[in-house]
Structure 1
Amino acid sequence: MDPNQNRPQGRRKNVTSGGSGAHRRGEGLGTGPVGSGSYSGGQTGGGGGAKRAAAGGGGLVTLLIIGFIIFKLFSGSGGGGGDLLGSLTGGSGGVDIGSVPSGFGFSTEDTASGSLTSDNAVDTNVATGSREKRTVIKGNNQDVVTIMVYMCGTDLESKYGMASSDMEEMRSASYGDNVNVIVFTGGCSKWKVSGISNKVNQIYQIKNGQIGRLVEDAGSKAMTDPNNLASFIQFCAKNFPANRNELILWDHGGGSVTGYGYDEKNKNSGSMSLAGIKQALKSGGVQFDFIGFDACLMATAETALMLNDYADYLIASEETEPGIGWYYTRWLTELGKNTSMSTLDIGKNIVDDFVSECAKKCRGQKTTLSVIDLAEFSNTVPSKLSSFAKSVSTKISNDEYKDISNARYATREFAESSRIDQVDLVNLAENVGTTEGKALADALRNAVKYNLTSSNMTNAYGVSIYFPYQRTSYVDSACNTYDKIGMDSEYSKCIKQFAKLETGGQIAAGGT
């Protein structure tokens, strides 16, 4: 009998492209059998999405979700019609839908005094030559902060009430008029909170302990449509102007190749690729203090390089996220006390609260969360990543490919059972053992300003990258994404060389 079978398990917000069969949820992740299921999806709409790659051809986009039902079910709501997001200034005048009903099974208490505070220090140093931060903090608690939460509820909400749980955590926070928490809802067939539509997208403001509806009908576009995200950003900028803007993308996440999001109501829309996210941010026209992913696997080098033009910091996880996701109450309350708090301190609070809550409520599950300085990352990492890629290519050309295979085999891999081939980049660079690898690892450690993991997670230093090994079918779509987000071609060349050896049978997954 599996000793984990009867333990409460959290969701894994994880989108992966899989083979022809459905994965059993919990498979290979040490969380016990909790059922099975798969979802298919197409290419990303409107964003130049990654192809649905699978060994042997067509393939399916498989959502690997590990969840447990800890919530009592409540009926979803209907909602209005309409299909345009262009003019979002109408709505229902901020109708109050109250708070989440009791009985969901999650805690609503403010654990400000009980959350773990890591002894790790935030690194405030910045490498010479890094650009100035685009967000200018006024100081003396004079800053106005708008937090945009793009909440694609999907099956995480319809089955488990997890979006409702996080909205309740936001509602339970205490902050004043200089903090705007604006939530865009959609992508879900049934919301646990009575009043949130499962027919159309909507916009809410969470303020003074209440959840108020700002826009009754924000259209029915897929949540993975970049134009939808762009319109939400524009709405917030117009109606809640602030000198500090934050964006949180809430849903499943699939990392470098698959990207962000899955819309339960628009299953054929696929995910939003990194190129699609870039398109949305460019159209949105807002510079962000930080962009965070309350989703799996998005703390990648590819994500960080893509985001540099649009944000100062990235907050994301290398590994799949346990079910409860971020814990919102305490860090929002602390921000409300001082809206001039440094972004690094905000990030530290988010990371500490996440790891602490997961340790208490999702025992045994591996957790990671890091804060990456995008200004420093874009300054120091690209050239060193290019040099590292060249050193790998040289080894392959000199028939030293076994060194690369062994290094990759020994490297920390994330969502391993899903075979998406995302590995910790510091760990990989150090395992390769070249001078260029060491220089890259040093630059990465310095660009990651704060990183915390669960005690059972090793060799996770805050930034991952796609490196083919368990399968090669993602290589073309990865390199296509790299072209669209402006990554250096040397890394594409490097992984193509390695994949060619794999397909030629010279390298087999499992070492030399």
Structure 2
Amino acid sequence: MMPTWELEIVMRYIRDFIVIFAVLLSALLVVSATETPIIGNETPSHTKSLVMIYMVGSDLESEDGAGTDNIKQINEGVGDIVPGDLQIVVGYGGANKTGWKGMTIASYDQLKKDLQNEVIGDESISSFSDPSIDMGSPVGLKTFIDWVSKRYSADHTYLIFWDHGGGYGGFGSDENSGNMLSLANIASVFNETQFKPEVIGFDACLMSELEVAATLSPYGTYFIGSEEIEPGSGWEYAKWMKVLAQNPSQNPINVSRIIVDTFVDAPGDSGRTLSVLDLELMPDIANKLEDLGASLTQVMKDTTGFRLIGKAYRNSTKFAQEPGNNGGTSVDLSLLVQYLMSHVSGAEKAGSSINESINKAVLYERHDKYISDARGLSIMDPQGTSHDQYLEDGVNVKVTPGWDSFITDFLLKQSTDNEKPELNSTGVNSYELTDPSGTASVWVEYFAYDPQTNDLIALGETPAVADTEGTYSIPEWDGTWFYLKDSSASDKYALLGMFYEDSTDDGIEEYSSKVNVTHDGLQDNVYLYSYIDPETGKTDLEFRPYTIDSTGEVLISRATIIPARGDKIDTYSELFNPDSNESDWINLGNMTVEGTVELVPSILPDGIYATGLYADYGNGYGSVTDLQKIEINDGQVTRDGSLTI
């Protein structure tokens, strides 16, 4: 029999072993639930294609479930893939929603399992989860890249950024922190990690800008991005992922083209554009802008030269343009350069060289019929910002010293420009435009008039067209204007302020309006974009929410709203008082939705209205002709000479 003291020693060893084993087992279980270790902690697993998606859910997920929907599409397209041929890793989070706080990293198999209950966000079915991580910070992006690159390598690597985008303003709005990744943030993470994916893609708005692509050019080979605001549904993941899963070895250029085609051809939202860029050629374009910037700085010393440059911006396709505003976030670079070459002396040589480089760098581009024209690469629109804002944006918006100097001078000149062209009467309803530089725009303006307060309410504007002799006249107005109408209720209308934006080669006209949409007590500020085919009368409507950040910059969401039963729509336009010279936005109409919302023309209510011509240089100063007065009584229109205000 074992002595008592020996038995106690043995029992102590057994107890210690049990405790140590329990601790190790517990640690192992924790690791297996939250982070998959590297086997041997040495060589990453190699695959033919690796798709990494940095999915900052934001309100796109918390309000619309858009991130979850895209993950469902991935599952639909990929199905049962062959292990080792294709790896898909998603880092998701950044939304104010259960399971989406912080950041979670999950493989395709884990996402597939998580989807069994139709909901993404089970942190226990993942490889990594940290609720404290801010996906709108460099730490979040670096954590994701480090985690994936230590575990996987591939013949072809795709890194896709998924969320809101603001072009040079940055990407990825973490809903919990309110932070957004700047271009400098993203570049610093790439530089620190020395990570270089073959394809960098942005399933986000406005990111196919030279400022973005040039900043990221050292860190990838190809780039996929949109010049315009993307619809909330984003890329068609089921379609292009299926093609990649069937052949993970295929050339990324082929995959990128499929991403573009499936996105642009998808039914639903309008105004789609997507392009594939060669990142290695971006520095060449940026460097050539140095010479063009120097030339334009000289041209701009003359007022006519400044006006010609301003008109080049106004006549180029603009992206994320606000209703009634001359500027957008960006303009198509190739179209801008093309206009400068045709109208500005001294821009031909540098412009020709730039467009030659753009044609080589844009490997593939497509846009739908609602975009007037797009060539695949945009650049900041100075008519959509201010000198102070440009300085605040700093390195994120700068291209080269010569171009930056030109933009700075342009913004300074723009801030002090208060000249206006003149419309002079040459007879009854006949006006001649005095515009030495030939750069003015002329509009037909439509107003409602309140004789009690002497207020003019802007109903909207359309382009004015001169006759063969260059004379303008006010078109005869029949008193009809645009309304939102509920399809299920004949008496539900809301008068709409409609401002012309652009026209496509097919004749489709784009108008913009300001409205509010209230759902379940929550109100969204919304830009309504209306697309009208004058020949067929067919219309398409897009309700785009927007927010205004702390600097006053307008951020248009990629999410679209489809007003549903019970939602309230309020429409707005601008009121101007000639006596006080003050203006304000006022409510035009409202409606509660029962069915679907349509755009219809209809006779205005009884009252006094006016129309006239307006000419400006896009600087906020302009001249207006005498206003022609019309009265509507019992639906009958009477023209009654000029309106005296």
TM-score when normalising by structure 2:
0.53
Corresponding residue to 1:438 among 324, 341, 352: 352
Offset at residue 169 of structure 1 (A): 0.6
Give 2:105's aligned residue. 203
Offset at residue 164 of structure 1 (A): 0.6
Q: Distance in 2 between matches of 1:441 and 1:221?
A: 42
Letter in 2 for 1:455: K
Q: 1:262-341 counterparts in 2 under 5 A?
A: 262-267=173-178, 269=179, 271-341=180-250
Distance 1:437 1:165, change over 3 A: same
C-alpha contact 1:470 1:509 (8 A) present in aligned 2: no
Offset at residue 490 of structure 1 (A): 1.0
Distance 1:280 1:391, change over 3 A: same
Corresponding residue to 2:82 among 169, 172, 176: 176
Offset at residue 286 of structure 1 (A): 1.4
Runs of 4+ residues deviating >4 angstroms: 506-509
Secondary structure of the structure 1 residue equivalent to 2:140: helix
Does 2:358 match 1:453? no
Secondary structure of the structure 2 residue equivalent to 1:387: helix
Q: Distance in 2 between matches of 1:332 and 1:431?
A: 39
Give 1:413's aligned residue. 318
Give 1:422's aligned residue. 330
Structure 1 residues 242-275: Cα deviation after superposition (integer angstroms, max 9, x where no partner): 232211111101111x1101111112x2x21111
Offset at residue 285 of structure 1 (A): 2.3
Give 2:138's aligned residue. 226
Offset at residue 176 of structure 1 (A): 2.4
Q: Distance in 2 between matches of 1:234 and 1:340?
A: 24
C-alpha contact 1:152 1:251 (8 A) present in aligned 2: yes
Distance 1:404 1:338, change over 3 A: same
Structure 1 residues 205-251: Cα deviation after superposition (integer angstroms, max 9, x where no partner): 11398146333523422111012101101111111222322111111
Q: Which has the higher strand share?
A: 2
Corresponding residue to 1:474 among 389, 395, 403: 389
C-alpha contact 2:218 2:280 (8 A) present in aligned 1: no
Does 2:26 match 1:90? no
Secondary structure of the structure 2 residue equivalent to 1:210: helix
Say how many residue pairs are matched. 362
C-alpha contact 2:94 2:101 (8 A) present in aligned 1: no
Secondary structure of the structure 1 residue equivalent to 2:206: coil
Give 1:500's aligned residue. 412
Corresponding residue to 1:165 among 45, 57, 69: 69
Does 2:318 match 1:377? no
Letter in 1 for 2:143: S
Q: Distance in 1 between matches of 2:104 and 2:392?
A: 33
TM-score when normalising by structure 1:
0.67
Identity of aligned residues (%): 28
Distance 1:375 1:409, change over 3 A: same
- The root-mean-square deviation of aligned C-alpha atoms, in Å, is 2.3
Distance 1:411 1:91, change over 3 A: farther
C-alpha contact 1:479 1:492 (8 A) present in aligned 2: no
Corresponding residue to 1:510 among 610, 613, 618: 618
Secondary structure of the structure 2 residue equivalent to 1:458: coil
Secondary structure of the structure 2 residue equivalent to 1:322: coil
Distance 1:188 1:499, change over 3 A: same
Q: Distance in 2 between matches of 1:200 and 1:408?
A: 41
Secondary structure of the structure 2 residue equivalent to 1:333: helix
C-alpha contact 2:47 2:152 (8 A) present in aligned 1: no
Give 2:126's aligned residue. 214
Does 2:190 match 1:254? no
Secondary structure of the structure 1 residue equivalent to 2:142: helix
Distance 1:505 1:91, change over 3 A: farther
Letter in 2 for 1:244: H
Q: 1:69-148 counterparts in 2 under 5 A?
A: 90=31, 92=33, 144-148=48-52
Distance 1:478 1:431, change over 3 A: farther
Give 1:154's aligned residue. 58
Structure 1 residues 146-194: Cα deviation after superposition (integer angstroms, max 9, x where no partner): 1110111111111111001000011112232221110111111125xxx
Secondary structure of the structure 1 residue equivalent to 2:250: coil
Distance 1:355 1:467, change over 3 A: same
Q: Distance in 2 between matches of 1:416 and 1:361?
A: 21
Structure 1 residues 448-486: Cα deviation after superposition (integer angstroms, max 9, x where no partner): 000010112122111111131133142113443256xxx
Q: Which stretch of structure 1 is more off in the superposition, 180-189 or 234-243?
A: 234-243
Secondary structure of the structure 2 residue equivalent to 1:144: strand
* Gaps in structure 1 of 5+ consecutive residues: 1-88, 96-141, 192-196
C-alpha contact 1:385 1:440 (8 A) present in aligned 2: yes
Does 2:92 match 1:188? no
